[in-house]
Amino acid sequence: MIESWRWYGGFDRISLAEIAQTGATSIVTALHEIPYGQVWPQQTIADTRKQIAAAGFDWTVVESLPVHEAIKRGDGDLGELFANYRQSMAHLAAEGIRVICYNFMPLLDWTRTDLASPVARGGTCLRFSIPKMAAFDVYMVRRPGAEDDYTGDDLAAAKRWYDAASPADLEQLTGAIMAGLPGAYARYDADGLREALDSFAGLDRAALRQNHKRFLEEVIPTAEELGLKLAVHPDDPPRNLLGLPRIVSDADDIDWILSAVDSPANGLTLCAGSLGANPKNDVPAIAERFAGKIHFAHLRNVSKDPDGSFEEAAHLTGDTDMPALVAVLLREERRRRDEGRDDAEIVFRPDHGHELLDDAARAAHPGYPLIGRLRGLAELRGVIAGLRLGMI
């Protein structure tokens, strides 16, 4: 398995020189400064690749080449947006990049309600609280019909939290929910988010699925021609959010997407944390089922609460059996090597570490601290080494 590290380029408080000390050999990044829907210039890609190479890394995976919201909504004439996406793919392929991670989550990317929830033995983690999400949805965004998406207990807990919240608490909650948007992407306040949600009115699960299928039909043939692989990232969290459907949340969803356009280029980013936040998901079993289509892996862990809330756990102590999951990936690598493939090794990265020691002072991108992820990488490295000694 290839150890990689997510780097946010000019937006990152962690330098490539510091990342080199983690032992990771590959960088996962994107051109976060380019607005959604615009072509990624080949020269900019080349300059980024050279910067990464000069620091001693390979740029192995793009995360992400964003899908414009108009494509997710299925708005009007999308020809130019699809053409731009295909052109960006061609520029990436020309610079030797072979895997593109993307997601199809409407409007918001990964979403949390707390960016610094205390951890029992010190440090902080990302957390998703159902009561706080309900409070945001019902009392701050004031989305019509929001109450119907929560249980009575959820709403009661949301009301208690909201009534006790200070203006600073409300501002902090909004900031946390917006934090998952990458790079320079515009953030919303509660009123602005309500207006943005209006543009998705009427978009249901079936429509979003068809829009995803159309996207795949438009770009997968180009991926095949270029020797690229696309890898869809699961929903985070794996549940409908703010009334918007999410369609990459469990094994049935993944099966539908991978079957919608049957191609080796249509694959999966196996995100253990995103899938692990859904109580119905057996993450190692999902990895086993779709192993042949896993083009990239995010290895992290979560601990779930009965109400559907969850928080980021240490990489080896959450609800997912991480050694069992890694064993699946190592067996798949062995199968690919036996086939004589030159792309047998799976690129993975430690994801969403705890903020530990002086991580907080650095103020890195939420969920992406230096020391916390280094701990996760070290733990994963140990699991991989142990399994390779014959335990798989």
Q: How far apart are CA 34 and CA 182, in angstroms?
A: 11
List C-alpha distances in Å: 101 to 45, 52, 139, 188, 234.
16, 18, 35, 25, 10
151/148 Cα distance (integer angstroms): 8
Q: Which of 68, 212, 295, 352 is catalytic?
A: 352
The catalytic residue among 137, 149, 236, 351 is 351
CA-to-CA distance for 235 and 242, rounded, in angstroms?
Answer: 14
Residue 81 to residue 215: CA distance in whole angstroms: 10
Rounded to whole angstroms, the Cα distance separating 300 from 312 reads 8
298 belongs to the catalytic site: yes
**What letters, b where the CB count within 10 A reaches 16 and e where it falls short, cover 189-228?**
ebeebbebbeebeebeeebbbebbebbbebbbebbeebeb
Amino acid at 292: G
Check if 368 is active-site.
yes
Among the options 233, 295, 315, 354, which is catalytic? 233
Active site residue 233: yes
Q: Where are the beta strands (DSSP E) in 129-215?
A: none
Distance of CA 159 to the CA centre of its chain: 30
315 is catalytic: no
Per annotation, catalytic residue among 68, 295, 298, 315? 298
Q: Retrieve residue 258's tokens.
A: 């991978």
DSSP assignment of 319-385 equals SS-HHHHHHHHHHHHHHHHHTT-TT-SPEEEE-SPPB-TTHHHH--STT--HHHHHHHHHHHHHHHH
Q: Dig out the tokens for 113 from the structure.
A: 């309600």
Question: Which residue of the set 85, 101, 162, 271 is catalytic?
Answer: 271
Residues taking part in catalysis:
233, 271, 298, 351-352, 368
